[in-house]
Amino acid sequence: MNTDAVMPKAACATCSLAQNARLIKLGIETGGWDYVVALAGNPNTGKSTVFNAVTGLRQHTGNWPGKTVTRAEGGFIYDGKRYKLVDLPGTYSLLSTSVDEEIARDFILFGQPHVTVVVVDATRLERNLNLVLQILEITDRVVVCLNLMDEAERHGIKVDDRALARDLGVPVVPTVARRGEGIPELLAAIAQVASGEYATRPHRIRHLDPEVGQAVERLTREIEKTFKGLPNARWVAMRLLEGDERIIEAVRKHELGELAPAAEMASTMQPALETA
């Protein structure tokens, strides 16, 4: 998709500069790269193997700003475009109950990578899909890497990747990363989502307790009025209702406004938080 057709070039440039500033704040240098891709997943899904298969020797490590958690970065070129790949800490959720979860969640939410690749273990989908669904609440620019397909076959497990892609609304790519199988298809899917060629329609949780659902919808409307254009207002509403201190801080400091291209701050947010 040609974004110039739907957004003035000046606005595109402004959005790009704002995103670069957020990424630099998170410790990611963006100079010389066309796209930034986050790599997420549960521990023991072969995520590091996927990272190595995609980046080869074009990688380096450091620490996340203010943390002792190691950050690995690498890069690859596909169809003439340069992609920076950022390996997020392995986590089971994004509920921010640990430093690793906080780093992964903050990077996906505030860094707004062009694509988030979620590596899942084909033999343990019931466990791994929890993280996938949480990430889909934050961003629709997702590719699922269905790794360890050889292990699934060895255990007699059959996974219909096409049906899973339909259900999730995002590309699902089967891989055996340690043998390089499926990696070219994974790169193609990343490129399609990054460029907008693949229009994702992510599955999001809709079946909530009626009382909770009403509170979520009411708060979502207030957030959308306050932060116009925010792409994940419903997820923000749910986290506020859960009492997520980091998200409450982001609202109070207007950090969420930086994520919304057409953000217009309003004075109605604080009463909404108090009455939700």
Q: What is the pLDDT of residues 146-180, one digit of tens each?
A: 999 999 999 999 999 999 999 999 999 999 999 99
Q: Give the model's pLDDT for residue 267.
A: 36
Which residues of the chain does CATH 3.40.50.300 include? 3-195
Q: What percent of the chain has pLDDT over 70?
A: 81
Q: Would the pLDDT of 242 be above 60?
A: yes
Closest CA to 237 of 254, 218, 256, 257: 218
Compute the average pLDDT of residues 120-136. 95
Look up the CATH number of domain 3-195.
3.40.50.300
Q: Average pLDDT of 55-60?
A: 83
Residue 133 has pLDDT above 80, yes or no: yes
Q: Which residue's entry shows tokens 């980046």?
A: 55
Tell me how far apart the alpha carbons of residues 272 and 250 are, in angstroms, rounded to a whole number: 15
The H or E element containing residue 61 is strand 59-63
